[in-house]
Amino acid sequence: MGYERYFVAHVRQLLRQFSLGEAFLDLRAMGRNNAIMNIPTFMKYLASFSHAGIRSRRILRRSWFLRDKPSDIAEVRNYAMAMASPFSLQKFELDTANLPPLLRFEDKNSMSQSIETRLPMLDPRLVRFGCSLPVEQKMHDGWSKYILRRGIEGRVPDPICWRRDKIGFAAPQASWTKKHNEEMRSAIRGSRLLRELVDLKALESSGFAIDGASLWRLYSAAMWEESLSISSLS
């Protein structure tokens, strides 16, 4: 439960249980012990993850260049239902949304380098134990991963153990898209595969008015097509 969206699920459950005082105290503690979550950010997460319609419209607006857009995004709807409680969200992410694709990435990356990997934190006994713990041992006084922090307290320096901000191992995508923008656009223009999926004429007319993440995805698809000599979806 290290992701900020779990705070939203936790507070939503408290409000449904009419634990208004506890919800208020947890919101205050969250702002004190988590560098990312404040009230505006909390409301943004609440709107984005808890309301399928709002999040779906946002995704579809970002994907305006696609030829065929779904009227309903099942995973967004399922996420909104899972936000009812921290446990239901954790189960959904373990079973469906997060863990399966992450394991596929890990498997492909390790196999591509001929490395056999092990995932000790996914030992079934440890997973069952972790899921059985009450939420108060995972999220406490505004801290995420509380029991894990307590478990390593004294073994690692406090600034690491009780760090308030969460920084992932992200690739420098923004600088890549800026530095290689024209090269990426050229690859997208020449993609036969993307011609079936994307309105390239409208994209070109707009001056590629899309966000960096969408540009990166389209470029990645074009490179995948080229590397595997894919000529058509059919």
Encoded tokens for 152: 């390593």
Residue 175's SS3 state is: helix
Tell me whether residue 181 is in a domain.
yes
Same domain, 96 and 195: no
Q: Domain end: 115, 131, 161, which one?
A: 161
The answer to whether residue 106 is domain-embedded is: yes
Residue 167 lies in a domain: no
- Give domain status of residue 14, yes or no: yes
Domain shared by 71 and 110, yes or no: yes
Q: What is the pLDDT of residues 159-172, one digit of tens each?
A: 999 999 888 888 89
**Residue 64: per-residue pLDDT:** 95
| Judgement on whether residues 145 and 50 belong to the same structural domain of the protein | yes
Residue 103 counted as domain residue: yes
Buried b / exposed e over 185-211, threshold 16 CB at 10 Å, is bebbeebebbeeebebeebeeeebebe
- What pLDDT was estimated at residue 171? 86
Write the DSSP assignment of 50-73 as a string of letters. Answer: H-HHHHHHHHHHHTTTBSS--S--
Looking at the predicted structure, is the pLDDT value of residue 81 above 80? yes
Same-domain check for residues 48 and 150: yes
Give pLDDT, residue 168. Answer: 80
Same domain assignment for residues 100 and 209: no
Q: Within its chain, how far is the Cα of 35 from the centroid? A: 18
Q: Which two tokens stand for residue 225?
A: 């097509």
Domain-located, residue 234: no
**Into how many domains does the chain fold?**
2
DSSP per residue, 109-124: HHHHTT-----GGG-H
Q: Is residue 233 part of a domain?
A: no
Statement to judge: residues 103 and 203 lie in one domain: no
Q: Give me the amino acid identity at 118.
A: R
Q: Are residues 31 and 72 in the same domain?
A: yes
Share of the chain above pLDDT 90, in %: 83
At 45-60, the pLDDT tens digits run 998 899 999 999 999 9
Structural domain harbouring 203: 173-228
pLDDT of 234 higher than 80: no
Residues 181, 97 share a domain: no
The verdict on 125 and 211 lying in the same domain is no
Q: Answer yes or no: do 134 and 221 share one domain.
A: no
- Which long-range contacts does 67-72 make (Cβ < 8 Å, 24+ apart)? 67/196, 67/197, 67/198, 67/199, 68/197
**Can you tell me the distance from the alpha carbon of 139 to that of 135, in angstroms, rounded to the nearest whole number?**
6
Domain end point (choices 161, 192, 215): 161
Are both 186 and 140 inside the same structural domain? no
Is 191 a member of any domain?
Answer: yes
- Same domain assignment for residues 151 and 208: no
Q: Does residue 170 or residue 62 have the better pLDDT? A: 62
pLDDT per position as a tens digit, 83-140: 999 999 999 999 999 999 999 999 999 999 999 999 998 999 999 999 999 999 999 9
Q: CA angle, 68 as apex, 182 and 189 as ends, to 5°?
A: 20
Distance of alpha carbon 188 from its chain centroid, rounded?
A: 25
> Torsion over CA of 71, 174, 176 and 103, rounded to 10 degrees?
-60
pTM to 2 decimal places = 0.85
